């Protein structure tokens, strides 16, 4: 006779990936996207002391070729980086650097940003046993598929069993 008592399984959510989880050529589609608001743009611009009128003076921006406020590119970089954290660097020990940051299209308040990262390289660290370096290219798009940014970054990632909390 079967028991009516259900076996309970405890499952802990995982954030990020270990070195072994990365494969060169894999592409991670980062979700959910992030809609940039006017409040996001003005707060970030003022917080970072970037008072360029294209970010915080709607009357000035209305006379520009864009006809409206541009989202501060520093905010856009930060949001795109943030979108990628769970898939790329959620378990990272450290970000090692960014390069080839290209801003390929304007972002306006109300745009929703999506991103994806392709694994370009993965190698074990020569000086830090149980850790490795993962390099990805992250590409970002607006809601209509228009490319807005791409960059390459590297992170120091632990191997399974070598991370904080393992």
Residue percentage of the chain with pLDDT more than 90:
87
We report the CATH number of the domain holding residue 146 as 3.10.129.10
pLDDT digits (tens, 9 = 90+) for 138-152: 999 999 999 999 999
Assess whether pLDDT exceeds 60 at residue 1. no
The residues that bridge with 95 in the sheet, in sequence order, are: 155
Domain for residue 125, yes or no?
Answer: yes
Which residue range(s) make up the domain with 132?
23-158
DSSP string for residues in 37-54? PHHHHHHHHHHTT---HH
pLDDT band at 161 (very low <50, low <70, confident <90, very high): confident
pLDDT digits (tens, 9 = 90+) for 42-93: 999 999 999 999 999 999 999 999 999 999 999 999 999 999 999 999 999 9
pLDDT band at 3 (very low <50, low <70, confident <90, very high): low
Domain for residue 123, yes or no?
Answer: yes
- The distance in angstroms from the start CA to the end CA of the chain is 39
Residue 164 has a pLDDT of: 79
Domain for residue 165, yes or no?
Answer: no
- What gap in Å lies between CA 42 and CA 56, rounded to an integer? 6
Q: Any residues with CB less than 8 A from the CB of 53 and at least 6 apart, and which?
A: 60, 61
Q: What is the mean pLDDT of residues 27-52?
A: 96
Give the up-direction half-sphere exposure of residue 120: CA atoms within 13 A in the CB hemisphere: 12
The model's pTM is 0.89
Considering only CA atoms, which of 54, 48, 26 is closest in space to residue 137?
Answer: 26
């Amino acid at each position: 006779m079967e028991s009516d008592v259900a076996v309970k399984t405890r499952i802990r959510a995982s954030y990020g990936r270990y070195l072994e989880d990365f494969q060169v050529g894999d592409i991670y589609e980062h979700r959910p996207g992030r809609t940039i608001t006017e409040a996001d743009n003005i707060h970030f611009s003022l917080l970072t002391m970037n008072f360029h009128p294209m970010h915080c003076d709607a009357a000035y921006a209305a006379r520009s070729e864009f006809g409206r406020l541009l989202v501060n590119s520093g905010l856009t970089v930060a949001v795109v980086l943030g979108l990628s954290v769970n898939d790329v660097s959620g378990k990272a020990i450290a970000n090692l650097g960014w390069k080839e940051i290209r801003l390929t299209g304007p972002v306006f308040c109300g745009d929703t940003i999506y991103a994806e990262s392709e694994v370009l390289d993965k190698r074990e660290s020569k000086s830090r046993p149980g850790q490795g370096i993962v390099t990805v290219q992250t590409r970002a798009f607006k809601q209509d598929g228009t490319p807005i940014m791409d960059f390459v970054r590297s992170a120091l990632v632990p191997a399974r069993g070598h991370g904080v909390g393992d």
